[in-house]
């Protein structure tokens, strides 16, 4: 039993399987060049995550302010924790 668990954990670590278990949500605006930078990265890498435009969704904008403390985009929520700045977001996505 222990070997099966160890094998599964090793496989998940080596294949990046844990990243798929991470809850990701990107708050953005279509008119924001830094948001477009992140969106382009995601498209080029073939990664799909939930994206919400705070310019078109008032509820999403309020969620961002309430949970992130500010209205700045892009903002990637990783398991409920905000990460700002397009370069930091791309770097995190590259590693995960």
Q: What would the DSSP string read from start to end of the chain?
A: -HHHHHHHHHHHHHHTHHHHTS-EEEEE-TT-HHHHHHHHHHHHHT---EEEETTT-HHHHHHHHHHHSS--SSEEEETTEEEESHHHHHHHHHH-
pLDDT tens, residue by residue, 58-67: 999 999 999 9
| Average pLDDT value for residue range 19-29 | 84
Contact status, residue 68 vs residue 27, Cβ threshold 8 Å: yes
Domains belonging to the chain, first-starting first, are 19-95 (3.40.30.10)
With bands split at pLDDT 50, 70 and 90, how would you rate the model's confidence at 3?
low
Q: Taking 80 as the threshold, does the pLDDT of residue 31 lie above it?
A: yes
CA 16 to centroid of chain Cα atoms: 15
pLDDT tens, residue by residue, 75-91: 999 999 999 999 999 99
Q: Can you give the pLDDT at residue 60?
A: 96
Q: Taking 80 as the threshold, does the pLDDT of residue 18 lie above it?
A: no
């Amino acid at each position: 039993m222990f070997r099966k668990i160890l094998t599964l954990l090793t496989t998940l670590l080596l294949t990046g399987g844990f990243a798929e278990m991470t809850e990701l949500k990107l708050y953005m605006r279509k008119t924001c060049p830094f948001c477009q930078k992140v969106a382009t990265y995601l498209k080029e890498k073939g990664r799909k995550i939930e994206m919400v435009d705070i310019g078109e969704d008032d509820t999403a904008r309020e969620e961002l302010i309430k949970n992130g403390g500010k209205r700045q985009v892009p903002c990637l929520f990783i398991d409920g924790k905000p990460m700002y700045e397009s370069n930091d977001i791309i770097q995190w996505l590259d590693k995960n």
